[in-house]
Amino acid sequence: MTNFSQNRREWLKRSAVLTGSLITSLSIPSFSKPAFGMTPYKGTYALAEPYGIAPHALEEIKARLSANENPWGPSKMAVQAIAEAAGKGNRYGHTIAKKMLAMVAEKEGVSEDCILLAPGSTDVLEKTAFALCINGGNVVSADPSYMSLINTARAIGATWKNIPLKSDYAHDLEAMASAIDGETKLVYICNPNNPTGTLTPASAIKSFCETVSSRVPVFIDEAYIELMDDHEKQTAVGLVGQGYDVIIARTFSKIHGMAGLRMGYMVAKPERVQAIKKLVRTEMGVCMTSLEGAMASMKDVEFQSYTRTNNKECRKYVFESLKRAGMDPIPSHTSFILFPIQMPVKEFLAGMVERGVGIRGYTINDKPYARVSMGTRPEVELFVQSLNEII
Ligand SMILES: Cc1ncc(COP(=O)(O)O)c(C=O)c1O
Range with the lowest mean pLDDT among 165-174, 181-190, 288-297, 326-335? Answer: 165-174
Residue partners of 113: CB distance under 8 A and separation at least 6 = 270, 273, 274
| 108 and 235 Cβ atoms separated by less than 8 Å | no
Q: 31-83, pLDDT tens digit by residue?
A: 443 433 344 445 555 443 433 345 455 567 899 999 999 999 999 999 999 99
Position 228, amino acid: M
Q: Is 356 in the pocket of ligand 1 (CB under 6 A)?
A: no
* Same domain, yes or no: 115 and 263: yes
Q: Is 223 in the pocket of ligand 1 (CB under 6 A)?
A: yes
**CA-146 nearest atom, ligand 1:** 1
**Atom 16 of ligand 1, residue of closest alpha carbon:** 194
Q: Is 253 in the pocket of ligand 1 (CB under 6 A)?
A: yes
Work out the pLDDT band at 302, boundaries 50, 70, 90.
very high
* Same domain, yes or no: 83 and 153: yes
Q: Please state the domain count of the chain.
A: 2
Q: Is 145 in the pocket of ligand 1 (CB under 6 A)?
A: no
* Same domain, yes or no: 133 and 273: yes
**41 to each of 147, 191, 202, 364, how far by Cα in Å?**
10, 18, 26, 5
**CA-125 nearest atom, ligand 1:** 4
C-alpha 117/C-alpha 149 separation (Å) is 17
**CA-253 nearest atom, ligand 1:** 9
Q: 216-231, pLDDT tens digit by residue?
A: 999 999 999 999 999 9
Predicted confidence (pLDDT) at residue 310 exceeds the cutoff of 70 = yes
- CB-side exposure of 71: number of CA atoms within 13 Å? 22
pLDDT score, position 169:
87
Q: Is 334 in the pocket of ligand 1 (CB under 6 A)?
A: no
Which class for 50: exposed (0-12), middle (13-18), buried (19 or more C-beta within 10 A)?
A: middle
* Same domain, yes or no: 329 and 241: no
pLDDT score, position 58:
59
Predicted confidence (pLDDT) at residue 277 exceeds the cutoff of 50 = yes
* Same domain, yes or no: 274 and 355: no
Handedness of CA 259, 260, 261, 267 (dihedral sign): positive
| Helices 270-279/121-133 angle, 10° precision | 90
* Same domain, yes or no: 233 and 134: yes
Q: Is 373 in the pocket of ligand 1 (CB under 6 A)?
A: no
Q: 91-143, pLDDT tens digit by residue?
A: 999 999 999 999 999 999 999 999 999 999 999 999 999 999 999 999 999 99
**Share above pLDDT 90 across residues of the chain, in percent, rounded to a whole number:** 77
Q: How far is the CA of 353 from the centre of ligand 1 (A)?
A: 23
Q: Is 335 in the pocket of ligand 1 (CB under 6 A)?
A: no
* Same domain, yes or no: 112 and 248: yes
* Same domain, yes or no: 325 and 263: no
* Same domain, yes or no: 263 and 356: no
* Same domain, yes or no: 184 and 260: yes
**Share above pLDDT 70 across residues of the chain, in percent, rounded to a whole number:** 85
Residue partners of 177: CB distance under 8 A and separation at least 6 = 208, 211, 212
pLDDT score, position 346:
86
Q: What is the CATH number of the domain that holds 315?
A: 3.90.1150.10
**Atom 12 of ligand 1, residue of closest alpha carbon:** 223
| Helices 288-299/76-86 angle, 10° precision | 150
* Same domain, yes or no: 37 and 127: no
Q: Once rounded to an integer, what is the mean pLDDT over residues 275-302? A: 95
* Same domain, yes or no: 55 and 108: no
Predicted confidence (pLDDT) at residue 197 exceeds the cutoff of 70 = yes
Q: What is the CATH number of the domain that holds 98?
A: 3.40.640.10
**Last residue of some domain: 274, 299, 324?**
299
- Name the residue range of residue 179's domain: 76-299
**Last residue of some domain: 278, 299, 320?**
299
Position 387, amino acid: L
pLDDT score, position 301:
98
pLDDT score, position 282:
82
**Last residue of some domain: 265, 299, 333?**
299
| 374 and 335 Cβ atoms separated by less than 8 Å | yes
Q: 324-351, pLDDT tens digit by residue?
A: 999 999 999 999 999 999 999 889 988 9
**Atom 15 of ligand 1, residue of closest alpha carbon:** 223
Q: Once rounded to an integer, what is the mean pLDDT over residues 247-255? A: 98
Q: What is the pTM of this model?
A: 0.88
Predicted confidence (pLDDT) at residue 215 exceeds the cutoff of 50 = yes
pLDDT score, position 362:
87
**CA-120 nearest atom, ligand 1:** 10
Phi and psi (nearest 5°) for 321?
-65, -40
